[in-house]
Amino acid sequence: MSFFDKLFGKKKSSASVAKDRLTIMLAHERVNCKLPYLDDLRNDLIEVIKKYTEVSDVKITTHNNQNIDMLEVEILLGKK
C-alpha cells in the first residue's frame, strides 16, 4: 500500500486481504500438519466416550505457550 493510500485511509488492497486470509488459514492448517495423529486421536476419543455417553463431537485445539505444547480437548455431549 502506498503512502498516500495510508494517508487518506483508502480501502485495504485486495492483496493485503489475500495475505491476511492466507495467514489465518495456514496458521490453522499447519497446526494439524504438525500433529498428524490429531484426526485419529479425535476418532479414538469419540469411540471411547461413546461407551459411556452420547457424544456429538470432539474438538481438539492446540496451544503453544512458551515451552509448553498443549492440547485442549472439548467434548460436546449430545443434547438431552
Residue 35 binds to another protein (criterion: CB under 8 A): no
Of 19 and 63, the one with the shorter C-beta distance to another protein is: 19
Segment interacting with another protein (CB under 8 A) among 2-10, 23-31, 47-55, 65-73: 23-31
Of the candidate spans 1-9, 11-19, 47-55, 62-70, the one that interacts with another protein by CB under 8 A turns out to be: 11-19
Environment class of residue 31 by beta-carbon count within 10 Å: exposed (0-12), middle (13-18) or buried (19+)?
middle
Cβ closest to another protein, residue 9 vs residue 36: 36
Helix and strand numbers (H, E) in the chain are 3, 2
Task: Write out the DSSP string of 39-56.
Answer: HHHHHHHHHHHHTTS--S
- 18 binds another protein, rule: CB under 8 A: yes
